[in-house]
């Protein structure tokens, strides 16, 4: 949960507040005075974006960033902060950590709202988990025949995926890049062949490395990619799940296109039907219909 601000209150009469009068008076009341007031609001934005709306300037790097942002020198920044804390009392300083009363008030209100939203999300999530639990219990009560049918479909999809494997060193070298050596290409080929993987696994690993670089530091991406391809068994499992799912979904979509939707009404009594696994049943008379591969139509 965020602990900073994207917005803080700015009252329309703030320019006439006594604290701002002191700030502008210190800098002569002219053009520079208004420029320093503008810099205060920029500093307030930096404070609002900091963790807990507290700007820690004990770090040399952070001081340099603030100097760059405000267009001041280090000496001018020190003077400016002294005026804001000791003279105008617009900013609070606690051992080099700066904040303002306004950002703290706004943060307190924002956190109250965020905690309320979090509680509502947790409540919704608990309800969804409860619903999923009930659905899972229903799935556990499926007929043995339906479970066997699903297992058969998954096995067929896996066999189809394995049948597509035809890896050449040329394809592997192209997937790895021009810098790949023959020894590396052969090692990768052995890895792919032994696990029934195609060259697309290399592309999957490349994409996953690129994604993980967004969230954590990977010092040597090329070496990390090679290690992932040759050693990370869990990546193989993730890839195979995605591959099996894609093949199964394509096969089911093709079958669905061939057989079409089950009858919406019972041919006997005209009652509505409901789908159960690969069949449908009349809710009135109980007649059951299923798709016939021979007749290519739904039959009782």
Consecutive 10-residue runs of the chain (300 residues): their mean pLDDT? 86 86 92 94 95 94 95 95 94 95 92 87 84 73 67 61 64 79 85 81 85 81 85 84 71 62 79 77 83 72
Q: Distance between terminal CA atoms of the chain?
A: 56
| Same domain for 234 and 191 | yes
Whether 98 is in a domain gets the answer: yes
So what's the pLDDT on residue 143? 63
| Same domain for 245 and 274 | no
H or E element, residue 237: helix 233-259
| Same domain for 191 and 137 | no
Whether 226 is in a domain gets the answer: yes
Burial of 176 (0-12, 13-18, 19+ CB in 10 A): buried
So what's the pLDDT on residue 93? 95
User: pTM score, two decimals?
Assistant: 0.44
- Dihedral sign (CA 23, 25, 28, 32): positive
- Residue 289 backbone phi and psi in degrees, to 5: -125, 145
Whether 13 is in a domain gets the answer: yes
| Same domain for 181 and 130 | no
Residue identified by tokens 């609070």 is 92
Tokens of 216: 């954590």
| Same domain for 265 and 252 | no
Query: How many residues make up the chain in this entry?
Result: 300
Whether 152 is in a domain gets the answer: no
| Same domain for 125 and 71 | yes
Q: How many domains does the chain have?
A: 3
| Same domain for 178 and 281 | no
What distances in angstroms separate CA 190 from CA 10, 164, 179, one per listed residue? 65, 16, 19
| Same domain for 287 and 184 | no
So what's the pLDDT on residue 43? 96
**Cα 63 to chain center, whole Å?**
32
| Same domain for 214 and 118 | no
Cα–Cα distance between 131 and 139 in angstroms, integer?
12
| Same domain for 127 and 38 | yes
Query: Taking a C-beta distance cutoff of 8 angstroms, is the pair 193, 165 a contact?
Result: yes
Name the DSSP class of 217. -
So what's the pLDDT on residue 10? 83
So what's the pLDDT on residue 51? 94
H or E element, residue 98: strand 97-99
Q: Which residues contact 242 (CB under 8 A, 6 or more apart)?
A: 204
| Same domain for 278 and 239 | no
Cα–Cα distance between 289 and 190 in angstroms, integer?
49
So what's the pLDDT on residue 54? 96
So what's the pLDDT on residue 253? 63
Query: Taking a C-beta distance cutoff of 8 angstroms, is the pair 105, 97 a contact?
Result: no
Domain limits for position 207 = 163-258
Query: Taking a C-beta distance cutoff of 8 angstroms, is the pair 57, 96 a contact?
Result: yes
So what's the pLDDT on residue 293? 66
| Same domain for 134 and 27 | yes
So what's the pLDDT on residue 25? 94
Residue identified by tokens 């556990």 is 140
């Amino acid at each position: 949960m965020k602990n900073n601000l994207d917005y803080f209150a700015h009252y329309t009469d703030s320019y006439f507040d006594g604290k701002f009068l002191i700030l502008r008076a210190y800098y002569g009341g002219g053009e520079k005075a208004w420029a320093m007031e503008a810099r205060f609001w920029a500093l307030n934005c930096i404070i609002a974006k900091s963790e807990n709306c507290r700007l820690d300037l004990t770090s040399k790097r952070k001081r340099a960033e603030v100097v760059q942002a405000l267009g001041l020198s280090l000496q001018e920044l020190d003077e400016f902060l002294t005026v804001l804390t000791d003279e105008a009392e617009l900013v609070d300083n606690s051992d080099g950590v700066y904040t303002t009363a306004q950002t703290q008030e706004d943060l307190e209100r924002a956190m109250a709202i965020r905690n309320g939203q979090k509680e509502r999300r947790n409540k919704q999530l608990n309800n969804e988990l409860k619903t999923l639990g009930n659905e899972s219990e229903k799935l556990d009560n499926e007929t043995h025949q339906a479970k066997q049918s699903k297992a058969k479909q998954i096995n067929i999809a896996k066999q189809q995926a394995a049948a597509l494997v035809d890896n050449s060193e040329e394809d592997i070298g192209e997937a790895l890049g021009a810098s790949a050596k023959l020894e590396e290409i052969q090692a990768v080929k052995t890895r792919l062949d032994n696990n029934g993987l195609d060259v697309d696994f290399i592309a999957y690993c490349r994409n996953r490395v690129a994604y993980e670089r967004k969230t954590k530091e990977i010092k040597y991406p090329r070496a990390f990619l090679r290690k992932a391809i040759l050693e990370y068994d869990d990546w193989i499992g993730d890839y195979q799940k995605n591959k099996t799912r894609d093949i199964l979904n394509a096969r089911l979509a093709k079958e669905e296109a061939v057989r079409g939707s089950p009858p919406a009404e019972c041919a006997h009594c005209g009652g509505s039907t409901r789908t159960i696994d690969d069949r449908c049943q009349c809710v009135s008379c109980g007649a059951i219909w299923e798709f016939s591969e021979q007749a290519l139509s739904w039959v009782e």
